[in-house]
């Protein structure tokens, strides 16, 4: 999966999920609370997400903005 700019997922009424079964690349991946993303390997992207909810290291933890 390759996105030209960003992959942005956000909370819906029941949360949500995105499962990618191959390589993933984008300039930015932004994954908000209650949304799960799964990748077989570390995506080639700058990642903003809650560190404890994302399966790989994030570049910027979304929880920093909640304080």
What is the tens place of the pLDDT at every residue in 1-59? 999 999 998 776 667 888 999 999 999 999 877 788 889 999 999 999 887 778 888 88
**DSSP H or E segment with residue 60:** strand 60-61
Residue 65 has pLDDT above 70, yes or no: no
pLDDT at 41: 92
Both tokens assigned to 52: 């404890």
pLDDT at 13: 66
Question: Model-level pTM?
Answer: 0.81
Among 44, 41, 33, 40, residue whose Cα is nearest residue 10:
33
């Amino acid at each position: 999966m390759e996105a030209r700019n960003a992959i942005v997922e956000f909370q819906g009424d029941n949360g949500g999920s995105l499962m990618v079964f191959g390589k993933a690349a984008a300039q930015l991946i932004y994954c908000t609370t209650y949304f799960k993303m799964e990748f077989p390997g570390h995506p080639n992207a700058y990642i903003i997400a809650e560190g404890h909810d994302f399966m790989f290291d994030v570049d910027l933890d979304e929880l920093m903005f909640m304080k």
